[in-house]
Amino acid sequence: MTEYVVGFLLGGVVVSAFSMLGDMLRPKSFAGLFGAAPSVALATLGIAVYTHGADYAARQTWAMTAGAVALAVYGGVVCHLLMRARFRVASATLVAVVVWLVVAFGLLAVAGGLT
Amino acid sequence: MSPISFSPSALKEGRLYEYMIRFALGGAATAFTGLVSSRSGPSIGGLFLALPAIFCASATLIEKHEIRRKREAGLDGRRRGEEAAALESTGAVLGAFGMVAFAVTFSLTVKDSVPTAFIAASLAWAVVSIAGWCVRRKMRMVRRLRSFRRRRRAQIAGPGEDRSALT
């Protein structure tokens, strides 16, 4: 339980720091880089290395590669839904999560990570 | 002149509850990833290290800020908010490529030295993301210049000329 409480606090701090940095930067396309900053990864991996060791964290980041590729696809889909399909921001970002899930788990399955 | 500017006063646009939402969401995403990892293993849990939960919150807040700013000027601002969020999402695509570099660097270096892995992976993210953003910006500028020159040559040639010879 302590692991999750520490994770929550650490994750909150790191994510808030990256978000605030993104808020202060212009232009917006540059600030957007911080929307895909590895903030959750930094907090989670810090705890994973401490509690489970380096091997466990290495396996997590190997799978994270698939999640990150899916995130790139997700960003493209959100942009398309907003500019072409005229979705509202909340709807576009939520609908595109389905695309992220399909691409991320699809890539992991292809790489043999689900077995 | 640098195309990137830093404005700490932009933080004043945010409301306290918006920062609290981000904190809670970041904390929840981290705790959730830890939970998934312990239940389903590090492979499935690792996927969620790149979960776009934070992006959903930031894009929605950006839209809100743009709408608020335009409403103060007596305009609707909804479309402007959507465009700002779309611009943010193109940045997120580049940031995601940086995240791939982060993950690969971390997985290759963590077994040798943990502090080095964190530093090297963070640097890899920053270098790949910023380089990608600079290349994209340069390409857009070249495309704009080409289109401007094409239009200018077409204007000089006049409407009766054969435009196919100009391209």
Q: What share of chain A in percent tops pLDDT 90?
A: 56
pLDDT mean over B29-51:
90
> pTM of the predicted model, to two decimals?
0.85
Chain A nearest-CA distance from B135, in A, is 12
Interface of A with B in 92-111 (CB under 8 A): 92-94, 96-97, 100, 104-105, 108
pLDDT greater than 70 at residue B165: no
Full pLDDT tens readout for chain A, 115 residues = 788 899 899 999 998 898 888 888 888 778 878 878 898 999 999 999 999 999 999 999 999 999 999 999 999 999 999 888 888 888 899 999 999 999 999 999 998 766 6
| DSSP structural state of residue B161 | S
Tell me the CA distances in angstroms from B155 to B92, B144, B165, one per residue in order: 38, 17, 13
pLDDT greater than 90 at residue B116: yes
B54 touches chain A (CB under 8 A): yes
| DSSP structural state of residue B3 | S
Burial B1-15 (b: 16+ CB within 10 A, else e): eeeeeeeeebeeebe
B88 vs B130, which has greater pLDDT?
B130
pLDDT mean over B132-154:
90
Distance CA B47, CA B36 (A): 10
A6 touches chain B (CB under 8 A): no
Here the ipTM equals: 0.90
Q: Are B74 and B62 contacting, i.e. CB atoms less than 8 angstroms apart? A: no
The answer to whether the Cβ–Cβ distance between B133 and A30 falls below 8 Å is: yes
According to the model, what pLDDT value does residue B159 have? Answer: 64
A20 touches chain B (CB under 8 A): yes
Cis peptide before B8 (omega within 30 of 0): no
- DSSP letters, B4-28, are -EE-GGGGGGS-HHHHHHHHHHHHH
